Amino acid sequence: MSRAFTPKVITANDLLAGDVIYLTADDQWSRHHAQAELIEDEAHSQLRLLDAQRNKFAVGAYLADAKRGAQGPEPVHFREAFRTRGPSNYAHGKQTERNHV
């Protein structure tokens, strides 16, 4: 029996800046995981992934496991958690942007 589908978000990297981006429910690309569309249906996830892969400014779009959180979707795997923040050795990447807002 195939494994039950777990919720996903669609993520990629921005073509120009390389920054991590997430597909939102209204077809925008956000830099914030919490604004991503949480996809809970497998068929829908495949269609949304096809949509995402057609966008020339989103590089390497894929489905990443996510879960529902108070502020919006949250990452499940540590790799995806790192992608929401940036590296651990310097305060670079998204973690610094967050301090500015």
Partner 1 sequence: MYNYTDFDETFVRARTAQFAAQVDRRISGALTEDEFRPLRLMNGVYLQLHAYMLRVAIPYGTINPHQMRQLAHIADTYDKGYGHFTTRQNIQFNWPKLTDIPKILSDLADVGMHAIQTSGNTIRNVTADHFAGAAADEIEDPRPVAELLRQWSTDHPEFQFLPRKFKIAITGSSTDRAVTRAHDIGLRMVRNDAGEPGFEVIVGGGLGRTPIVGTIVRDFLPKADLLPYVEAVLSVYNMLGRRDNKYKARIKITLHETGKEELSRLIEERFDELRLQFGGNDQALLAEITAAFSTPTLRQADTGAYHAFYKADPVFRSWADTNLSAHKNADYRIVTISLKKHGETPGDATSEQMRLIADLAERYGHSEIRISHEQNVILPHVHLSDLPTLHAALRGSGLETANVGLISDIIACPGMDYCALATARSIPVAQEIANRFDELKLEHDIGPLKIKISGCINACGHHHVGHIGILGLDRAGVENYQITLGGDGTETAVIGERAGPGFAYDEIVPAIERIVAAYLEHRVDASETFLQAYRRLGLAPFKAALYPDEGKRNAA
Interaction site with partner 1 (CB under 8 A): 13, 15-20, 56, 59-60, 76-79, 82-83, 86-90, 92-94
The whole-angstrom separation of Cα 31 and Cα 35 is 8
Of 92, 93, 91, 42, give the one whose Cα is nearest residue 63.
42
Say if CB 14 and CB 29 are below 8 A apart.
Answer: yes
The whole-angstrom separation of Cα 46 and Cα 42 is 6
Q: Closest distance between partner 1 and the C-beta of residue 43, in Å?
A: 25
Q: Closest distance between partner 1 and the C-beta of residue 52, in Å?
A: 12
| Closest CB to partner 1 among residues 72, 86 | 86
| Closest CB to partner 1 among residues 4, 43 | 4
| Closest CB to partner 1 among residues 20, 39 | 20
